[in-house]
Amino acid sequence: MGPLIDAIPLPYTDAVVVLGAAVLGLTCGVLGAFAVLRGRSLVGDAVAHAALPGVCVAFLLGGTKDVPLLLVGAGVAGVLGAVVMLAIERNTRIPADSAIGLVLSAFFSLGVVLLTYIAGSGDADQAGLESYLFGQAAGLLESDVAVMAAISAVSLAAVALTVRAMRVVLFDPRFGGSIGLPVRALEITSTVMLVIAVVIGVRMVGAILMVAMLIAPTVTARQLTDRLVPLLALAGVVGAAVGVAGAVGSTAAGLPTGPVIVLLALGIVLAAVLLAPRRGVLWRAGALLHRRRLAACDAALLAWHRDGELPERSVRALARRGWAEPGPAGPRPTAAGRAAIQEVLERRALWSAWLEHGTRLDLDDPREPGPHDLAAVLGPHRVSELRELAATNGAPR
Amino acid sequence: MFMKVRATPALPATTVTAHAPAVDVRGVTVSYRSTPVLWDVDAELPAGRLSAIVGPNGAGKSTLLRAMLGLVPMESGRVRIAGLPLEQARDLLAYVPQREAVDWNFPVTVREVVAMGRYRAAGWFRRLGRTDRTLAAEALERVGMTAFARRQIGELSGGQRQRVFVARALAQQAEVLLMDEPFAGIDARTQAGLLGLFGELCAEGRSVVVVHHDIAAVRASFDHALLLNVRALGCGDAREVLTEEAILRAYGAPPAEDAVAWAR
């Protein structure tokens, strides 16, 4: 860790925190993706809450606030929580989401009781244990970061080795079974990864908000890519970025680290949901508006052609495009406007012909023609073929 | 039509399969809890032919297909694929599951889905080699979906998704293709295209087994049929097995009348 920490242009303690936050964010981003893609994010929430009593029990047994010891406790309790959830799901009629709720509240209540008991026990060493609730970046030791980095390296290597199998099993488990994949084992692996992500993150982000660190990077990345490996890489980068920014910011401002990291992460999620190319809400709204304008123009031109009269509300839109100009008896089409009318009529006729006779063209590959660019999609040769079919009403010549 | 006829047939069927039936099922019994789903099923589906598994809802059609793949625990019975026990036949089989069991929002492209057909052959850790990528590309071309290679899989229509799944099975280069309801919810044009492709595969010496719900279509275009309702009620030439009388026995009523009775 030494050289890495020296390379960060910050005071030693800050550099340790930054490095720790980067490791945490990267790991939680990548490992959290498997839970989110399986639709099991809330299992992550329950596992994170289950980590709290684990930390308390580890402290009671070990008597020190040694971070690796407490993380072992968190891990054991997390696995226990996951196993209990699975057992409830498989052996009772309780539905999965209720099982998650039961386990989460049971473990977390136990954690809070234990935490209160420890605080009242007068043990001088216990101060600061409550930081596992909301997370704390300050006070992290270089040796703690080294442990986190080692766990992280092992689990990321496991991801790299199993990513192809995971892609199959998460997408289509039955096919996975048919090509000889150990589907159950891979599902268990992905749950173990979830526990590891929680263990690495719980000290800095806290049990209550840990789930956001698992979800937010993947949700952001999913807005930007349709492929698994880029998604994992992006989720890791997003996680590391918000982790570092949140850790530095919260330490400087004296705020709890978890909420600051999570607020930053959710800000990025919001931006991605609104702005992502093709998928973002605003992006789609813009595209819809654009299509509406085009459709309105087409409709106005057709109405003008049919009725000889331009609907009042469309005058400005057509004038702006240079298709209409004021005349003595109301607006009249310019030369460009007459061409535009002609173009709409031809486009409509071609589209009708496609809908009626398109299957007879025997295209050798499927294409997805739209009413607006059918001619471009089909190419001039197919277009003339289609026109001929329409002219003869589909009769063979 | 989206299927192109190939000038040269692909790999000839391996010689082991020449005489053994594609699928040979003997005394297969499968239960969920204590209810038998399949009961003492015997069936022989010939190699190089197009076979259908037909039967009412809950007849165990999908379960039988999964038993052929060794994916459900059997209480008794055995399955042989091209004369070989299942453990040795894994590479001879390709499976197209029902489309409901799949996460269509998963971040995976059409090209990647078809490439999954090569994962087992290529190994789980190495990059796909040139041969594997070529085979996947050819499979995609053969179902006419090359233009969609870069799409996310969920952006396709139902028929297109089915064609991609068939392409994945083609990429596996299997001798025996097992397909669960590939024609459910698919338009007539795509059905005809897929049937044409299955015919080509049989002409290459491969065997195609399809779970099908449309008895008339099976009579019209399948060689062989297995009529199933927990037990095997008939297995042989499609037109000989699927008589009105046999269907009455399997369904309790002709399917059309059944629907009318339901509506009353």
Q: Which of A34, A178, A229 to mutate to test the interface with B (most CBs of B within 10 A)?
A: A178
**CB-CB neighbors (< 8 A) of A222 in chain B:** 107
Predicted model pTM: 0.88
| For residues A273-292, average pLDDT | 93
B1 touches chain A (CB under 8 A): yes
What pLDDT sits at residue B18? 53
Instruction: Answer whether residue A294 shows pLDDT above 50.
Output: yes
Range with the poorest average pLDDT among B10-24, B64-78, B202-216: B10-24
> A95-124, pLDDT tens digit by residue?
999 999 999 999 999 999 999 998 888 766
Q: Which of A226, A227, A229, A231 to mutate to test the interface with B (most CBs of B within 10 A)?
A: A226
Nearest to A388 by CA among A350, A359, A362, A355: A350
**CB-CB neighbors (< 8 A) of B101 in chain A:** 172-174
Q: Which of B66, B107, B124 sits opposite A165 (nearest CB)?
A: B124
Range with the poorest average pLDDT among A142-151, B9-18, B36-45, B229-238: B9-18
ipTM score: 0.88
Instruction: Answer whether residue B260 shows pLDDT above 80.
Output: no
Confidence band of A11 (pLDDT split at 50, 70, 90):
confident
Q: What ranges do the domains of chain B cover?
A: 20-263
B116 touches chain A (CB under 8 A): yes
Nearest CA-CA distance, residue A367 and chain B, Å: 7
What pLDDT sits at residue A316? 87
What pLDDT sits at residue B169? 96
| For residues B2-31, average pLDDT | 65
What pLDDT sits at residue B126? 79
Q: Is A331 helix (H, G, I), strand (E, B) or coil?
A: strand
CA quadruple A51, A52, A57, A60: dihedral positive or negative? positive
CB contact under 8 A, A179 and B145: no
Residues B30, B200 contacting (CB under 8 angstroms) = no
CB contact under 8 A, A227 and B119: no
What pLDDT sits at residue B11? 46
Instruction: Answer whether residue B180 shows pLDDT above 60.
Output: yes
Residues B62, B51 contacting (CB under 8 angstroms) = no
> A335-385, pLDDT tens digit by residue?
999 999 999 999 888 888 888 888 787 775 556 677 777 888 888 888 888
What pLDDT sits at residue B2? 55
Q: Rounded to whole angstroms, what are the CA distances from B57 to A62, B51, B255?
A: 59, 19, 11
Three-state SS string over chain B comes to CCCCCCCCCCCCCCHHHHCCCCEEEEEEEEEECCEEEEEEEEEEECCCCEEEEECCCCCCHHHHHHHHCCCCCCCEEEEEECCEEHHHHHHHEEEECCHHHCCCCCCCEHHHHHHHHHHHHHCCCCCCCHHHHHHHHHHHHHCCCHHHCCCEHHHCCHHHHHHHHHHHHHHCCCCEEEEECCCCCCCHHHHHHHHHHHHHHHHCCCEEEEECCCHHHHHHHCCEEEEEECEEEEEEEHHHHCCHHHHHHHHCCCHHHHHHHHHC
| For residues A235-243, average pLDDT | 96
What pLDDT sits at residue A124? 63
Confidence band of B1 (pLDDT split at 50, 70, 90):
very low
Residues A82, A191 contacting (CB under 8 angstroms) = yes
| For residues A160-181, average pLDDT | 94
| For residues B182-186, average pLDDT | 89
B32 touches chain A (CB under 8 A): no
> B90-121, pLDDT tens digit by residue?
899 999 999 888 999 999 999 999 999 999 99
Instruction: Answer whether residue B258 shows pLDDT above 60.
Output: no
> Which residues lie across from B85 on neighbouring strands?
B80
CB contact under 8 A, A178 and B71: yes
What pLDDT sits at residue A397? 52
Pairing of strands B93-96, B224-229: unpaired
CB contact under 8 A, A175 and B95: yes
What pLDDT sits at residue A365? 59
What pLDDT sits at residue A3? 82
Percent of chain A scored above 90 by pLDDT?
Answer: 59
> Which residues lie across from B234 on neighbouring strands?
B227
| For residues A291-302, average pLDDT | 90
| For residues B229-243, average pLDDT | 88
Structure tokens at B171: 């990429």
Instruction: Answer whether residue B259 shows pLDDT above 60.
Output: no
Pairing of strands B50-54, B207-211: parallel
Nearest CA-CA distance, residue A244 and chain B, Å: 27
Q: Which of A167, A177, A178 sits opposite B108 (nearest CB)?
A: A167
What pLDDT sits at residue B167? 96
Percent of chain A scored above 70 by pLDDT?
Answer: 96
**CB-CB neighbors (< 8 A) of B102 in chain A:** 171-172
DSSP string, A231-264: HHHHHHHHHHHHHHHHHHHHHHHT--HHHHHHHH
What pLDDT sits at residue B5? 42
| For residues A35-49, average pLDDT | 94
Percent of chain B scored above 90 by pLDDT?
Answer: 60
Domain B20-263 falls under CATH 3.40.50.300: yes
CB contact under 8 A, A226 and B144: no
What pLDDT sits at residue A395? 66
Q: Which of B108, B145, B211 to mutate to test the interface with A (most CBs of A within 10 A)?
A: B108
Instruction: Answer whether residue A304 shows pLDDT above 60.
Output: yes
CB contact under 8 A, A365 and B144: yes
Instruction: Answer whether residue B253 shows pLDDT above 80.
Output: no
Confidence band of B254 (pLDDT split at 50, 70, 90):
low
Scanning B82-101 for CB atoms below 8 A from A yields 90, 93-95, 97-98, 101
